Amino acid sequence: LADKGGLVALRQAGKRRIERADFITRIAPMLGLMGTLIPLGPGLAALGEGELSILTTAMTVAFDTTVIGLLAGIIGFVLGRMRRRWYDAAMEAYEMQKAETHG
């Protein structure tokens, strides 16, 4: 029964960590897109008024947020993959240890 509790706790901890990384992977590009589109409105309005400096600033913010959102998504993806590998290795080691002690 104690082994089963340890296994359940290990599965739950692994699942929580993987879900966090998956959340970052999904949400970061969306936030990057929002950060791209929001400054474009004032930037395009400034273009209509001939204010190129405002347009330039808005475009810089737009591109920066796109890159940051994509970078954060990539980091979340890599973390998720690494955590899945660690989780799988931990589960395999746990099961091997359990088989050796009970087998």
Q: Which of 18, 33, 20 is nearest to 68 (CA)?
A: 33
Q: Which of 75, 63, 64, 60 is nearest to 28 (CA)?
A: 75
Domain ranges of the chain: 2-102
> Given this model, what pLDDT does residue 1 score?
42
Q: What token pair was written down for 91?
A: 């589960």
pLDDT at 4 over 80: no
Q: Which of 54, 36, 34, 35 is nearest to 44 (CA)?
A: 54
Q: ∠ CA 61-66-72 to the nearest 5 degrees?
A: 120
Helix (H) / strand (E) containing 21: helix 2-48
pLDDT in tens, 13-37: 889 989 999 999 999 999 999 999 9
pLDDT in tens, 38-70: 999 999 999 999 999 999 999 999 999 999 999
> Given this model, what pLDDT does residue 91 score?
86
